[in-house]
Structure 1
Amino acid sequence: MMTKPYGLFLIFILVSLNSFSQIDYHGKVIDKDSGNALERVRIINTISQDTLVSNSNGFFRIPNSGNYKLQKFGFYEQTVNLTTTSYRIISLEPNPSKLSEVIVNANHLPTVLEKATATINIISKKDIERSNNTNFAPILNRVPGLFMQSGALNTNRITIRGIGSRTLYGTSKIRAYFKDIPLTNGSGETTIEDFELASISNIEIIKGATSSSYGAGLGGTIILKPQNSYLNQSSLNNELTVGSFGLIKGINNLNLGFKNNSIRAVYSHTQSDGYRDNNNYNRQTFTLSSQHYINDTNEISVLGSFVNLKAFIPSSINASDFENNPEKAAFTWQQSQGFEDANRGILGLSWNHQYNSNLKQITSVFTSFRTALEPRPFNVLRENSFAVGLRTRLLGNIIVFNKPLNYTFGGEIFNDTYTARTFENLYEDFPAGTGSVEGSKLSDFEEDRRYFNLFFETDYSFSDLTTLTFGLNLNQTSYDLDDNFPSSEVNPDQSGTFKYNTILSPKLGLSHLISEEISLFASVSHGFSPISLNETLLPDGQINTDLRPETGWNFEIGTRGQLLKNRLQYTASLYRLDIKNLVVSRRTALDQFIGINAGRTRHDGLELSLDYKWLQKEAFQLSSFLSYTYNNYTFQDFVDNETDFSGNDLTGVPNQIANLGIDFNTAWGLYGNINQQYVGAIPITDSNLLYTESYMLTNLKFGYKNQLSKGLTFNIFTGLNNLFDKHYAAQVLINATGFGDSAPRYYYPGNPVNYFSGLNLNYVF
């Protein structure tokens, strides 16, 4: 029998798919890089000088055929031939612009950044290209409030405002999307590091539980935007990078662009021996995106990604090895030659239908899969997962009291089936160097994981200066577990069902322009983090139905703007995040954890980012950036195993992070940047008796790019990471436990000084 929320969702879909009439526009203007529609583009007839502007959805009608100039601040001017008998999509290329031209889609209501009511950071293609394109960590760590620990290319943990810091392995409690396709699985776990950075146009980061449309995650949302396929242009881009520790990376990027259809395919192959023992890495990726403008009411896009990965795992090491032999792998991981061998793919189809100038609908269907083999010292894990989902929403605007009210209403259904089997690892019974040997089956689980989101968001402009936003998210999550392993006293049957109560998360935000260049914003929002099924299992095999998801309220005030004749761009925010029902993973055996609700945490923080243009001449440009994060995260009420940790610092998050960098670019092709990152001490244990040492890393990159011939350009570059060879912990395993006589293994050593060099060739047909 269909539950009431699912029934409402189906009715919403059926009612909304009821119109296919064309609106008879003559064209549409979009951002070349993002594909976003551009409003208020001036379209000028080159002969009569008659001028018209595109509407809020980028559409326009012209009275007569002819040549027209298209102008918009922040974009390069373009002249095109337009006719009244055919439909034309026109892509404008972005030029460095003001905040009033930066479009964000954090709540599916595209708006300019200066009017956003939450802290949103955009990592542009330029920001991505400041580093080598093999590791997300240096790129994400320049964003205030976000911290990515990276023990290896395939071993990472991302936290936003401290959320997710207690996850022992991987990233959880934040949400991530590849455009409209969820990257977060049914248990709230997220993996983004396998994606090819060269296939990403920009990354939008929403901090705090401020996006109802993306599931109201406690920490926030990371949205990877794929590199858009360009219309009316075909090109081939090839890049080869080599570097320390046997790094070799090749990228092939093909774009085929026609009048109203385009396709982009990106293939990459990355391999490395790694700095540490048992650290080999081999990954191939293929990313496909296409845009199809059927007519002035219908657009279709396709997005797919496939990853083949085999990465060996050196794991964490104890304090003695960290200080004296950091290149060592953990002994048991070295002996078993532990690794991750995985195939992962996602595929999505999106349909954008414009009912009229005030209403459109975007619907996406998607599927994903993952198969993996992971031999670990304590067992061999075989995993399979398959997911399907649908996401749809209406976007519209109406006039209320002579002022515009924009709204979106929609929902998302997601279902994934996950199977996991473990086997004995018999490596100890064989000669050294044999590696892992699979033995008898130890467990056999199948999980059916489902969630449903229904969301509503609106923004209302009281005036040209003041905007109010309101949102609601309704979530229902459930799991079914089938234990297919023969039950006994030692292995009790763990089959069962776990279902959360429905969670309703509201948000309220306000922004106000105090001048043309400066805005203030404030928000109050509620969010939650789902519990993984593993955390609900008790040692006796039963499901803990009393375990509750973490929930919290986010309070935030901030300002953003541009000063000194637009040379200084800044964002600053203060926030408090109160979380209750803190879920603690308590380790009961080498590969067994249980979850308990252990209390409350308070996350107080300050975030600041500055970008300053020192010199902006045609021949030479010089700019600098600064980002700073101050974290005051504490356990307000935390009792675990009768030990009271209340008042202690939250484990796994540094108290301060700062980034300072300088960029330069010249008209003759020389460019470069230097970046320093400071990371404060990180509490490793809940007792706060052990902290990491603070550290500072210095990275730099220089290059030269120019045109070899018509249509062919080259870019040669080189860089150094950790220039001063700082010894530091790139990732920590909090509250690690030593079994037997072994010391706890807290530390993942960071790479010493290392280089990369590469050549990029781009040919436009």
Structure 2
Amino acid sequence: MISDVSSAGGWTDKSAVNYGLRSTLDTRFELGTGISLSGITGLELQQQQAQILGYPMVADSSNLAGYRIPGVLRSNQVTTTGSLLLFTEWTLALPASFSITAGIGHSRMDIALKNRLYAPATAIPTRYSAGYHNMYAPHLAVNKVFSEKVSLYASFSQGYKAPVSSYFFIPVTGEVISGLKPKKANQLEIGSKGSLLKKRLQYEVAAFYTVYQDKMTTIAVPNSANTATSYVYVANAGEQKNLGLEISLKGTAYESAGFIRAIHPFTNLTLSHFRYGKFQYEQLSSDKTSTVVMDFTDKTVVGVPPVVFNTGFDLTTQSGFYWNLTYNYRDPMYFTSDNKKQTASYQLLNTKIGYSRHLLKHLALDAYLGCNNLTGQQNYVMVFLNQLPDAYLPAPREANFFGGLNLKYIF
């Protein structure tokens, strides 16, 4: 994999090689009338070796009013990341369409980093390494099916996210942060899914509560006398609590053997109440001689709109013509953790009309015309966090028309 990524902060070239292995064993035991035990057990290995080159973005001397360009190389790192996952999960099927599922995963991750820009005059090492082991993640769920049409379930799961390669050491001092721990999450979820009204309405609903512990934060180390380099490093100190509700509906409003074959409306709604718990981080003052503490306790989590709503319909005809119409609404969203800056809400109306048909036994045609943002509402195309001034990039207000023609040969 080769990637070139630019942003307001710099330019990064990355060349990576990934390889791995996954193996599973499926088993099933009949324990009696209406009782069975089935399971899956396996392992997964993955390793990545990558070279990452970093450049600052500087003004182009030949075009000072134009876009910035990559400057002099400022970092050259080679990373090796390896992970191992062992897992097993078993489902006990009982009479009356009741089942219990339990499983556990054991994972570990090892990181090694080599600095190819070695400075001989310093005592900073060229190689860093860390390992995060014994991450056990249990899972438990119960499920009940009613009349083979509706099911209810409840589940508990636990997971981990180990630090990335840029977090586990301090470049200024060369010190590996030995006490850094993986971020941990516990989630409780309840929900239901099924088919109603003689299979004319399919629904899914799920409510979840997730608590994150040992979130990554930063600690500032200033030098008021300005006799050494000030720096920040990553530590565990923070919580986050996510409460959410997801609802999805899809149905058949009309169906016949006439010109209009079917009309399928659909709707989905996501409600999110995501809040930081006790969460602070430190940064250096503008002159790097003192510490500034930012307290985000009880603030709204960035990057998550409280309400996201989508609805629309698909219309198909016997002759091959089809029509799709969707309406999307997204609430305002904070993009700074102090909740002082946020995007605007927006609504999008999109449509697509086309013709799809088999022309011959092995040849299929799909021709279409469409328009995104029919009503010309301003929305955003990307949001950068902590990377001003490009933190909020709105999309054009104008409608965007498109079309296409696909020919598919079926062997």
User: Could you tell me the TM-score, scaled by structure 1's length?
Assistant: 0.48
Q: CA deviation at 1:430?
A: 3.6
Bigger mean CA deviation after superposition, 389-398 or 530-539: 530-539
What one-letter code is carried by the residue in structure 2 that aligns with 1:649?
T
1:675 maps to which residue?
Answer: 326
Q: Do residues 559 (structure 1) and 200 (structure 2) align?
A: no
2:236 maps to which residue?
Answer: 597
Q: Distance in 1 between matches of 2:255 and 2:22?
A: 44
Q: Do residues 617 (structure 1) and 264 (structure 2) align?
A: no
Q: 1:370-419: CA deviations, max 9, x gaps?
A: 12344667655332111211110100101224421111111011111111
Q: Do residues 747 (structure 1) and 378 (structure 2) align?
A: no
1:512 maps to which residue?
Answer: 144
2:356 maps to which residue?
Answer: 705
Q: Distance in 1 between matches of 2:90 and 2:201?
A: 31
> Is the CA contact (8 Å cut-off) linking 1:535 and 1:585 kept in structure 2?
no
Unaligned runs of 5+ in 2: 222-230, 283-292
Secondary structure, aligned partner of 1:502:
strand
What one-letter code is carried by the residue in structure 1 that aligns with 2:280?
V
Q: Distance in 2 between matches of 1:586 and 1:635?
A: 18
Q: CA deviation at 1:585?
A: 6.7
1:763 maps to which residue?
Answer: 409
> In structure 2, do the counterparts of structure 1 residues 646 and 623 end up closer, same or farther at CA, with 3 Å as the change threshold?
same
User: Could you tell me the TM-score, scaled by structure 2's length?
Assistant: 0.87
Q: Distance in 2 between matches of 1:764 and 1:415?
A: 38
> Is the CA contact (8 Å cut-off) linking 1:534 and 1:594 kept in structure 2?
no
Q: CA deviation at 1:636?
A: 1.3
1:109 maps to which residue?
Answer: none
Secondary structure, aligned partner of 2:333:
coil
> In structure 2, do the counterparts of structure 1 residues 493 and 647 end up closer, same or farther at CA, with 3 Å as the change threshold?
same
1:528 maps to which residue?
Answer: 160
Q: Distance in 1 between matches of 2:23 and 2:51?
A: 28
Q: CA deviation at 1:574?
A: 1.0
Secondary structure, aligned partner of 2:212:
strand
What one-letter code is carried by the residue in structure 2 that aligns with 1:747?
Y
Q: Do residues 422 (structure 1) and 54 (structure 2) align?
A: yes
Q: CA deviation at 1:487?
A: 2.0
What one-letter code is carried by the residue in structure 2 that aligns with 1:692?
T
> In structure 2, do the counterparts of structure 1 residues 448 and 400 end up closer, same or farther at CA, with 3 Å as the change threshold?
same
2:339 maps to which residue?
Answer: 688
> Is the CA contact (8 Å cut-off) linking 2:357 and 2:366 kept in structure 1?
yes
Q: CA deviation at 1:428?
A: 3.6
1:638 maps to which residue?
Answer: 279
Q: Distance in 1 between matches of 2:233 and 2:378?
A: 34
Secondary structure, aligned partner of 1:534:
coil
Q: CA deviation at 1:666?
A: 0.6
2:211 maps to which residue?
Answer: 578
Q: CA deviation at 1:672?
A: 1.0
> Is the CA contact (8 Å cut-off) linking 1:534 and 1:593 kept in structure 2?
no
Q: Distance in 1 between matches of 2:355 and 2:218?
A: 50
> In structure 2, do the counterparts of structure 1 residues 721 and 491 end up closer, same or farther at CA, with 3 Å as the change threshold?
farther
Larger proportion of helix = 1
Larger proportion of strand = 2
Q: 1:543-567: CA deviations, max 9, x gaps?
A: 2222221101110111111111111
Q: Distance in 2 between matches of 1:496 and 1:745?
A: 33
> In structure 2, do the counterparts of structure 1 residues 639 and 425 end up closer, same or farther at CA, with 3 Å as the change threshold?
closer
> Is the CA contact (8 Å cut-off) linking 1:505 and 1:525 kept in structure 2?
yes
Higher relative contact order (CA 8 A, sep 6+): 1
Secondary structure, aligned partner of 2:125:
coil
What one-letter code is carried by the residue in structure 2 that aligns with 1:613?
T
Secondary structure, aligned partner of 2:252:
strand
Q: Distance in 2 between matches of 1:491 and 1:431?
A: 40
> Is the CA contact (8 Å cut-off) linking 1:585 and 1:594 kept in structure 2?
yes
Q: Distance in 2 between matches of 1:702 and 1:750?
A: 24
Q: 1:265-314: CA deviations, max 9, x gaps?
A: xxxxxxxxxxxxxxxxxxxxxxxxxxxxxxxxxxxxxxxxxxxxxxxxxx
> Is the CA contact (8 Å cut-off) linking 1:635 and 1:649 kept in structure 2?
yes
Aligned positions of 1:434-473 closer than 5 A? 440-473=72-105
2:224 maps to which residue?
Answer: none
Aligned positions of 1:289-308 closer than 5 A? none
Q: CA deviation at 1:698?
A: 0.9
> In structure 2, do the counterparts of structure 1 residues 586 and 756 end up closer, same or farther at CA, with 3 Å as the change threshold?
farther
Q: 1:71-104: CA deviations, max 9, x gaps?
A: xxxxxxxxxxxxxxxxxxxxxxxxxxxxxxxxxx
> Is the CA contact (8 Å cut-off) linking 2:217 and 2:280 kept in structure 1?
no
1:391 maps to which residue?
Answer: 22
Q: Do residues 730 (structure 1) and 381 (structure 2) align?
A: yes
Q: Distance in 2 between matches of 1:586 and 1:711?
A: 64
Q: Distance in 2 between matches of 1:593 and 1:756?
A: 48
What one-letter code is carried by the residue in structure 1 that aligns with 2:210?
L
1:628 to 252, 269, 288: 269
Q: CA deviation at 1:658?
A: 0.6
Q: What is the aligned length? A: 387
Q: Distance in 1 between matches of 2:64 and 2:299?
A: 44
1:550 maps to which residue?
Answer: 183
1:326 maps to which residue?
Answer: none
Unaligned runs of 5+ in 1: 1-369, 738-743
What one-letter code is carried by the residue in structure 2 that aligns with 1:501?
H
Q: CA deviation at 1:488?
A: 5.2
> In structure 2, do the counterparts of structure 1 residues 516 and 434 end up closer, same or farther at CA, with 3 Å as the change threshold?
closer
> Is the CA contact (8 Å cut-off) linking 1:679 and 1:696 kept in structure 2?
yes
1:569 maps to which residue?
Answer: 202
Q: 1:163-183: CA deviations, max 9, x gaps?
A: xxxxxxxxxxxxxxxxxxxxx
Secondary structure, aligned partner of 1:414:
strand
Secondary structure, aligned partner of 2:175:
coil
> In structure 2, do the counterparts of structure 1 residues 680 and 586 end up closer, same or farther at CA, with 3 Å as the change threshold?
farther
Secondary structure, aligned partner of 1:566:
coil
Q: Distance in 1 between matches of 2:204 and 2:64?
A: 56
Secondary structure, aligned partner of 2:166:
helix
Q: CA deviation at 1:709?
A: 4.0
> Is the CA contact (8 Å cut-off) linking 2:99 and 2:142 kept in structure 1?
yes
Q: 1:487-529: CA deviations, max 9, x gaps?
A: 2567943521111131000000011012221110010110111
Q: Distance in 1 between matches of 2:116 and 2:122?
A: 15
Secondary structure, aligned partner of 1:399:
strand
1:371 maps to which residue?
Answer: 2
> Is the CA contact (8 Å cut-off) linking 2:128 and 2:169 kept in structure 1?
no
1:14 maps to which residue?
Answer: none
> In structure 2, do the counterparts of structure 1 residues 672 and 454 end up closer, same or farther at CA, with 3 Å as the change threshold?
same
Q: Distance in 1 between matches of 2:189 and 2:392?
A: 34
Q: Distance in 2 between matches of 1:677 and 1:501?
A: 43
Q: Do residues 405 (structure 1) and 56 (structure 2) align?
A: no
